[in-house]
Amino acid sequence: MKAVILAGGTGSRLAEETDLLPKPMVQIGEHPILWHICKIYAQAGVQDFVIAAGYKGEAIAEYFSKFRLRQSDAIFDLAAGSVELLPRDDVPPWNVAVVDTGQATATGGRLKRLGLWLGDNSTFLMTYGDGVADLDVRRLVEFHRSHGKLCTVTVVRPAARFGTVVLDGSDVIEFAEKSPAHEGWINGGFFVLERDVLELIDDDSTAWEGAPMARLARDKQMAAFCHDGFWHPMDTLRDKRFLNELWASGRAPWRIW
């Protein structure tokens, strides 16, 4: 099964980082968040990735073009101008297609442009290039197949930014520190899709989160896989610092590999 990763946005809220790099290349620890996302999928046996690139997509292509060189020991024959990369067990067997889907293309448009890259796969995975989770991808796929819908969306509870205060007149009768329990379910960005959903996308200007998802919900063709575990996007510098602190501590919840 292929995993599509939408990685073409500008990441404007991370401008200090994304002036030079696309958002999926912003690092958590020594690796870009895109690597972390691929590792989450690879834990479930997914090895084929299609990256929908756009803004500064050449940085993503360059990263993967030099991936094995960075990960391997090498012998350089300077006179012959040759390089021999020595095999190492920790180089993942991924097959990665980096596809330019346009600078200003919306999320749905990027997805539709990848139709030819999906091959004969009728079912595929899709996510955004800016969020991590301790998601059991195998369970997600099993859930999708058991419900027979065109789309399964992973829904999550975001962490509340502020504590919750319950009042009785002027008396505080309950105070709950920041907790996802008081928040509703939201789109966590990890999908399982049937390729027929591409027919719901009009053109490059179509946002996947707009009319296509609304129609799937209206037609009862969307199932929700509830994920109560860790999930966090990297939208701001605060998010980047938080994720890097977790990684540096050795307690990153999404490190399920």
Residue type at position 39:
K
CA atoms of 54 and 103, how far apart (whole Å): 5
For residue 244, the model assigns a pLDDT of 97
- Please report the sign of the dihedral spanned by the C-alpha atoms of residue 25, residue 33, residue 23, residue 139: positive
For residues 105 and 55, give the distance between their C-alpha atoms in angstroms, rounded to a whole number. 10
In a domain, 172, yes or no: no
Ranking 8-17, 103-112, 135-144, 244-253 by mean pLDDT, the lowest is: 8-17
Q: Is the pLDDT of residue 69 over 90?
A: no
Q: Does residue 217 or residue 89 have the better pLDDT?
A: 217
CATH of the domain at 36: 3.90.550.10
Q: How confident is the model at residue 121 (pLDDT cuts 50, 70, 90)?
A: confident
Alpha-carbon dihedral sign for residues 203, 208, 212, 216 = positive
Domain for residue 229, yes or no?
A: yes
Residue 243 within a domain: yes
Of the candidate ranges 21-25, 108-112, 174-178, 210-214, the one whose mean pLDDT is the lowest: 174-178
Q: Is residue 254 part of a domain?
A: no
Q: What is the structure's pLDDT at 161?
A: 59
Domain assignment present for 79 = no
* Percent of the chain residues topping a pLDDT of 90: 76
∠ CA 88-89-90 to the nearest 5 degrees? 95
Sign of CA dihedral 7, 11, 14, 15: positive
Model pTM?
0.89
> Is residue 179's pLDDT more than 70?
no
Question: Which helix (H) or strand (E) covers residue 213, if one does?
Answer: helix 211-218
Number of compact structural domains in the chain: 1
Do 20 and 88 touch, CB atoms closer than 8 A? no
* Residue 12 belongs to domain spanning: 2-70+84-153+185-249
Beta bridge partners of 166: 174
Per-residue model confidence (pLDDT) at position 202: 97
Q: 150: pLDDT confidence band, cut at 50, 70 and 90? A: very high
CA-to-CA distance for 132 and 177, rounded, in angstroms? 23
Total Cβ atoms within 10 A of residue 232: 19
Q: Tell how strand 48-53 and strand 2-7 pair up.
A: parallel
Half-sphere exposure for 12 (CA within 13 Å, toward CB): 0
- Asked if the model's pLDDT at residue 124 lies above 60, the reply is yes
Q: What is the pLDDT of residue 13?
A: 78
Residue 178 near residue 161, CB atoms below 8 Å: yes
Q: Is residue 255 part of a domain?
A: no
Give the whole-number percent of the chain exceeding pLDDT 70. Answer: 90
Domain membership of residue 158 (yes or no) is no
Any residues with CB less than 8 A from the CB of 128 and at least 6 apart, and which?
A: 5, 6, 7, 107, 189, 233
Q: What is the pLDDT of residues 226-243, one digit of tens each?
A: 999 999 999 999 999 999
For the record, the structure tokens of 128 come out as 């955004």
Domain-located, residue 178:
no
- pLDDT tier for residue 160 given thresholds of 50, 70 and 90: low
Using H for helix, E for strand and C for coil, what is the string for 125-194? EEEECCEEECCCHHHHHHHHHHHCCCEEEEEECCCCCCCEEEEECCEEEEEECCCHHHCCCEEEEEEEEE
Question: What tens digit of pLDDT does each residue of 181-212 get?
Answer: 556 789 999 999 999 999 999 999 999 999 99
